[in-house]
Structure 1
């Protein structure tokens, strides 16, 4: 039911917020922290993000992330530019404290287990676990020999398997680049799970590989749940929504920027390849996600919770109605039984009335006969 009603709720949100979906010049800009951990400067894609999406207050952090960096932020996009760097204990604590207040979104970029990139798998999973998310990066790489930008490691993710509830996120998107991506799986009930096969009701696929997506292996440990050489539509971009505290976790199997070539406007590094030979719409996908998180998510989740509450109340009332119907049925049975008894009693009364009348007639006849004999 959750997956059926959420789409309706979002479109209601769109109608409600249509006039205010993008903040006006007088409104405070929503704050989004871009954590490019280990970067020396913003790359072309990161600069383009900050220059093109101007209604957002972008805060760039290239060193250690602190609580003050996250103060008043609505969203954190975390990319480990230096794959060898892990989150420090103080960073994990700062992120968790910020996230635990609710109404926040975090986008964590993963990577493949290629030797120079594998650190992003480990550090990303450490953050997911710290936050209590079910999402994980698997220790492997996704390649695609057919749906790509000229090489199997330049994987083009497709929106074909996007959850219907979130289909608006991929509007205008046919392909998005995931350059040497990993693969996103789930970890819950003490086990790893293939999210393309099963997932919790609050976990949504957004982009996957095409059916010719293939798993590859570079660095131990081996992949937790997929086999090397396995083909399938593997999750490359996944969203987890916590409806209780209105938090959102986004996992991408590669970075929206950096990571050699990120999702957002890869044509900045090769216009012939990424705009002409193999056109893609990574910038649209990125903007759609940011717009959703900053402008619509809160209202949609609130409406979802309201509808869920009302559905619970309706279910309770339906149970009460069913119980009352049972009581009415029982009472009707008792009434029918009493009517049968009354009918039977009425039959008995009618019988005794007939006998009494007959006896009266007999008595009258006998009386007349006796009187006649006495006269003689």
Structure 2
């Protein structure tokens, strides 16, 4: 065989090998592509930003808030940012209302807004999340409106409220800042295991702690109890501060209802309350879940990594499942008819692509002979 013919044959084999490899890779990509997973039911989530939630360090949380909303959207949920107040219109068809820490003396809730929330919540199968903050206030930085958060929770009959105090921790904190305590203990109750799964550290920047109202007619300072030591039916603490956490007062004119100045302990940082009859859920947190400066969803500070982002997503998902649990019905049928297993369409697609490529190779080789 002449050198020229050998070179041509070698080139042909090289092309055939290249196409064969490409075909194999393409087939593997077709067969390995995952099927997109979407929520079985589209839930509408309203995130309030009309009451100063973004005024503390404006622009800081823009990126992380957008990432949070993007993840909720990818989970199959509709996310609505409420920037013009809360009313029946924006709450229409909403399954969840999340209210970050209310900031500024002129951004409080109107009575009509609280009434709209109460009426919406009464329909049942809802999630209401209310974020508190510490009692910190200053002439330059402004103040947190804790009483507004309390009024909202009283309107819906919550058994959990935020203390008008600050929580600091000189041992378990972020970058040495005692005012940035880390909630590093989680509930061991199996009922809320899905919420705290994989969660070991949540940054709580400038937070407060929670207390319970152990009464059939709950409210602020009504039969107040410490949730870390007392239990209330259908109330589940989710996150705790470390045992080194201490109660401080940012505003000396305010005092805690259950917890006293300089008291130490593993205070409750976040809780869940459920209503088995209405299938409603209430989450209360001692810090803002989104918005402002270092919200709970902030998952990194310098080199330290946190799981607040996962915690918030899992808590929302839990509440939706609690309201309308997903059930699977299995039907068993006995028959004497011979059945044929359905074909694997991906496999057949890959084989088809390979067959087309092989035909192209044959045609090319035939034309070059």
TM-score, normalising length: structure 1: 0.68
Deviates more, 1:241-250 or 1:43-52: 43-52
Alignment map for 1:1-376 (pairs within 5 Å): 23=38, 29-37=42-50, 38=52, 39=54, 43-53=62-72, 54=74, 55-80=76-101, 82-84=103-105, 85-115=107-137, 119-150=144-175, 151-189=177-215, 190-219=222-251, 220-267=253-300, 270=301, 273=302, 276=303, 278-294=304-320, 296-299=321-324
Q: What secondary structure, in the 3-state scheme, does the structure 2 residue paired with 1:153 have?
A: strand
CA RMSD of aligned residues (A): 2.4
Higher RCO (CA-CA < 8 Å; seq separation 6+): 2
The runs of 5 or more residues in structure 1 that have no matched partner are 1-21, 303-376
Deviation at 1:81, TM superposition (A): 5.1
**Does the CA-based 8 Å contact 1:240-1:248 persist in structure 2?**
yes
- In structure 1, the residue corresponding to 2:178 is in which secondary structure? coil
- Give structure 2 stretches of 5+ with no counterpart: 1-36, 216-221, 328-369
Count of matched residue pairs: 273
Deviation (angstroms), 1:50: 1.3
**Structure 2 Cα separation of the partners of residues 242 and 159 of structure 1:** 25
8 Å CA contact 1:204, 1:239 repeated in 2: yes
Taking the aligned partners of 2:275 and 2:88, their CA distance within structure 1 comes to: 22
Write the deviation string for residues 248-302 of structure 1: whole angstroms up to 9, x where unpaired: 11000001112311011343xx4xx2xx2x22111111111122122x2124599
SS in 1 for 2:243: coil
Q: 2:231 and 2:104 mapped to 1: Cα distance? A: 28
Structure having the higher helix fraction is: 1
Task: Give the conservation status (yes or no) of the 8 Å contact 1:162–1:204.
Answer: no
Determine helix, strand or coil for the equivalent of 1:256: coil
Residues 250 and 83 of structure 1: is their aligned pair in 2 closer, same or farther, counting only changes over 3 Å? Answer: farther
Deviation, 1:82, is 3.0
The structure with more radius of gyration? 1
In structure 1, what is the Cα distance between the partners aligned to 2:101 and 2:82?
A: 11
